[in-house]
Structure 1
Amino acid sequence: MSDVNTEQFPGFAENHYQHGMHSLAWVSLWLIVGLGVACGVFGFFWGLTQ
Structure 2
Amino acid sequence: MSDANAEQFQGFSDNHYQHGMHTLAWISLWTIIVLGVGAGLFGFFYGLSQ
Q: TM-score, normalised by structure 2?
A: 0.87
Structure 2 equivalent of residue 13 of structure 1: 13
Q: How far 1:3 sits from its partner (Å)? A: 2.1
Q: CA deviation digits over 1:8-38, x for unaligned, max 9? A: 1111100001111111111111111100010
Q: How far 1:5 sits from its partner (Å)? A: 1.3
Structure 2 equivalent of residue 47 of structure 1: 47
Higher alpha-carbon deviation: 1-10 or 20-29? 1-10
Aligned structure 1 segments of 4 or more residues deviating by more than 6 angstroms: none
Fraction of identical pairs, as percent: 70
Q: How far 1:45 sits from its partner (Å)? A: 0.5
Indicate the RMSD between aligned Cα atoms, in angstroms: 0.9
Structure 1 unmatched ranges of 5 or more: none
Q: Distance in 2 between matches of 1:4 and 1:10?
A: 10
Structure 2 equivalent of residue 22 of structure 1: 22
